[in-house]
Amino acid sequence: MDLGYLLHLLIPSWNSVAILALFFTYLAVAGSILPGKVVPGVILQDGSRLHYRCNGLISLLLLVGLVGAAAKLDIVSLTVIADRGLELLSTTFLFSFLVTLVLYAVGCKSSNRGSSLKPHVSGNLLDDWWFGIQLNPQFMGIDLKFFFVRAGMMGWLFINLSVFARSIQDGTLSQSMILFQLFCALYILDYFIHEEYMTSTWDIIAERLGFMLVFGDLVWIPFTFSIQGWWLLSNKVELGTAAAIANCCTFVIGYLVFRGANKQKHVFKKDPKVPIWGNPPRVIGGKLLVSGYWGIARHCNYLGDLLLALSFSLPCGMSSPIPYFYPIYLLILLIWRERRDEARCAEKYREIWAEYRTLVPWRILPYIY
């Protein structure tokens, strides 16, 4: 593909603007009216806490149903995202850029002193735009941070499904494509089933909403995590039975560690007495869990996520590094994030954290790192 043609494909069109606008409008309406468990967020510095309506799963299933029905009636084409991938990418990028300029301007003007809306202005325009000014900015009562994560995760699934439809139409559907689609779909569905766990993650509780997060949620997650699918559209892979079984095992082990670790911490934060693996939890300083996965490594949840990421790429075989973009990126991100979280926890928990480090010396992978 020559560069001129590639650039041409990147030019946003009104169609891609309409697709994005429809998607966001649907999410805003569905998120506001569909039923869902209302979950209190963590207590913020000023003692306040936000509440999140976790209706992502029902919003997702309804949207899948609506798109399916619209395709049956020939109103939309299931391959529209796969066919217009690059222009959707550039449109979403432009949207992220513009929306973060607005967030910057609104944040700077805010006179709110509450933890969620208090402006954090360093004076360095680039820094403030990149990292954001406010912790939890809202628009028409919608928590934008929660909204964008949801949009990114759903966008990832819809890109995959469209690529899947394209491979069926092209007659290139392979075992590799099915495995990739299955693993990603299960991961995304699981994310929405456990959407409430998101309310206590680092992004939600500690990062301000700037270009870094908005771009990460809306562009990076959906468009780069789906690279394997795009790659499989034009590359044939013959997976042997043993490789397919090993691939499934990587997914299952990754899932058990990832979900198990995140669930143990989430449940522990709500009730520190709930048994872990059948025994009363071991706790230090009344605050840090040392049982279960949290007694094996200080961030076992990252290990699970890395195994899952690997399982999404293994269906593509070993002939090219391109489908391994996601696990490689995640490895770098999680090592960096673990260091930042370590520094945050060392400052917050002080001697309790030092004791935790002694009891659980491994950061992510026991005996290796």
At residue 351, φ and ψ (nearest 5 deg) are -65, -25
What six digits make up the tokens of 81? 């995202």
Q: Which of 214, 305, 313, 314 binds ligand NDP (CB under 6 A)?
A: 305
Q: Which of 129, 158, 251, 294 binds ligand NDP (CB under 6 A)?
A: 294
Contact between 262 and ligand NDP per CB under 6 A: yes
Q: How far apart are CA 265 and CA 3, in angstroms?
A: 48
Nearer to ligand NDP, 120 or 344 (CB): 344
Count the Cβ atoms, other than its own, within 10 Å of residue 279: 9
Q: Which of 59, 167, 301, 311 binds ligand NDP (CB under 6 A)?
A: 301
Q: Which of 248, 341, 346, 352 binds ligand NDP (CB under 6 A)?
A: 341
Contact between 151 and ligand NDP per CB under 6 A: no
Q: Which of 139, 202, 277, 336 binds ligand NDP (CB under 6 A)?
A: 202
Q: Strand pairing partners for 138? A: 143
Q: Which of 80, 184, 330, 364 binds ligand NDP (CB under 6 A)?
A: 330
CB 306 within 8 A of CB 334: yes
Q: How far apart are CA 189 and CA 183, in angstroms?
A: 10
Q: How far apart are CA 156 and CA 248, in angstroms?
A: 21
CB 341 within 8 A of CB 202: yes
User: What residues from 109 to 128 belong to the interface with ligand NDP (CB under 6 A)?
Assistant: none
Nearer to ligand NDP, 118 or 298 (CB): 298
Q: Which of 289, 297, 310, 314 binds ligand NDP (CB under 6 A)?
A: 289
Contact between 160 and ligand NDP per CB under 6 A: no
CB of 158 to ligand NDP, least distance (A): 17
Q: How far apart are CA 164 and CA 160, in angstroms?
A: 6
**Judged by CB under 6 A, which stretch of 25-33, 60-68, 231-239, 262-270 contacts ligand NDP?**
262-270
Q: How far apart are CA 29 and CA 34, in angstroms?
A: 8
CB of 217 to ligand NDP, least distance (A): 10
Nearer to ligand NDP, 128 or 305 (CB): 305
Q: How far apart are CA 267 and CA 287, in angstroms?
A: 13
**Judged by CB under 6 A, which stretch of 43-51, 124-132, 232-240, 288-296 contacts ligand NDP?**
288-296
Contact between 348 and ligand NDP per CB under 6 A: yes
Q: Which of 223, 265, 293, 316 binds ligand NDP (CB under 6 A)?
A: 265
What amino acid is encoded at 25 in this protein? T
- Residue recorded with tokens 């306040």: 48
Count the Cβ atoms, other than its own, within 10 Å of residue 243: 18
Count the Cβ atoms, other than its own, within 10 Å of residue 174: 17
CB of 341 to ligand NDP, least distance (A): 5
Contact between 195 and ligand NDP per CB under 6 A: no
Contact between 37 and ligand NDP per CB under 6 A: no
Nearer to ligand NDP, 104 or 220 (CB): 220
Under 8 Å CB-to-CB from 251, ≥6 apart: which residues? 183, 186, 307, 308, 311
At residue 133, φ and ψ (nearest 5 deg) are -105, -40
**Judged by CB under 6 A, which stretch of 89-97, 125-133, 297-305, 317-325 contacts ligand NDP?**
297-305
* Total residue count of the chain as it appears in this document: 369
Count the Cβ atoms, other than its own, within 10 Å of residue 70: 13
Contact between 337 and ligand NDP per CB under 6 A: yes
CB of 246 to ligand NDP, least distance (A): 22
CB of 78 to ligand NDP, least distance (A): 26
Picking from 248, 250, 245, the residue whose alpha carbon sits closest to that of residue 304 is 250
What six digits make up the tokens of 131? 């990292």
Nearer to ligand NDP, 145 or 166 (CB): 145
CB 260 within 8 A of CB 332: no
Binding site for ligand NDP (CB under 6 A): 201-202, 258, 262, 265, 268, 288-289, 294, 299, 301-302, 305, 330, 333, 337, 341, 344-345, 348
